Amino acid sequence: MPEEAKKINAVILEIRAGVGGDEAALFASDLLRMYTRYAQNQGWGVAILHSNQTELGGIKEIILEIKSPDAYESLKYEGGVHRIQRIPKTEKAGRVHTSTATVAVLAKPDSTQMTIRMQDIKIDYCKASGPGGQYVNKRMSAIRLTHIPSGLVVYSQTERSLLQNKESALSLLQARLLEKQEREASTKFGDARNSQIGTGSREEKIRTYNFPQDRITDHRINKNFHDIEKIMEGRMEKMVEAMKKSGL
């Protein structure tokens, strides 16, 4: 990451269900809880920019903004494919299933790093929708922004007002545009976002959460962490510190 990382005051954290159907969506929800509670334990601000949930309480996709000068340095190692091995609640035969979720961590730029001309943005208003396609708000409160020069599209529906959703969508668009510019400007840092999330397959993993063995394995540093239930409740400090010390 370039030197601008030292000035980062917020990050955009994206979580998506990968391979595994409903269980993958539930795992994405578990990761959301882990990161949210970790952030709250650190005293950081957390805001939801976009959310797409399933009827079973899982998450297809969720995008957070985490506000703190310390957030990027702690969370930048979380980007990648996360794999879970456990017995789903719906599994009657007691078999362990393997599912995945993907995480991407983007630096949120400040106004000096990224400015967007409003004439370059197409704005569409629509009704917010919930699980199963049901409307959660009959008013036109959701917003979709299309950055015409780049073709990037972002969407926000979590806030109650159009103004709030517009601000959330602009924050996300700024982060993705900055990441896109940095990626194109220098091949040194590679395709940051795509290299993090990969295809979501079970083989492309940075970390495995093995519930039957009460173990989380980070494959990049070949290190195990135990007390998995506690970690999933937001006590990630040991993992975060291990990654910081790894030199990756």
Candidates 73, 85, 133, 78; CA nearest to 105 is 78
C-alpha distances in angstroms, 111 versus 40, 170, 226?
26, 12, 41
pLDDT digits over 168-182, tens only?
Answer: 888 888 888 877 776
Instruction: Go through the domains of the chain in sequence order and give each one's CATH number.
Output: 3-109+191-243 (3.30.70.1660), 118-185 (3.30.160.20)
Task: Assign 159 a pLDDT band (cuts: 50, 70, 90).
Answer: low
Query: Which among 38, 195, 215, 218 is positioned nearest to 103, based on CA atoms?
Result: 195
Structure-block tokens of residue 47: 């805001």
pLDDT digits (tens, 9 = 90+) for 76-91: 999 999 999 998 877 7
Q: Are 140 and 129 in contact (CB under 8 A)?
A: no
> Tell me, what's the pLDDT at 137?
47
- With 80 as the cut, is the pLDDT of residue 226 above it? yes
Distance of alpha carbon 152 from alpha carbon 44, whole angstroms: 28
Q: How many C-beta neighbours within 10 Å does residue 157 have? A: 23
For tokens 């400040």, name the residue: 110
Lowest pLDDT segment from 48-62, 78-92, 167-181, 223-237:
167-181
- Residues contacting residue 141 through CB under 8 Å, at least 6 positions apart: 127, 128, 157, 159, 160, 161, 162, 165
pLDDT of residue 67: 93
pLDDT digits (tens, 9 = 90+) for 179-221: 777 666 544 444 555 556 655 555 569 999 999 999 999 999 9
Whole-prediction pTM: 0.74
Could you tell me which residues come within 8 angstroms of residue 222 by beta carbon, excluding any fewer than 6 positions away?
A: none
Least confident interval from 128-132, 221-225, 229-233:
128-132
pLDDT score for 192: 56
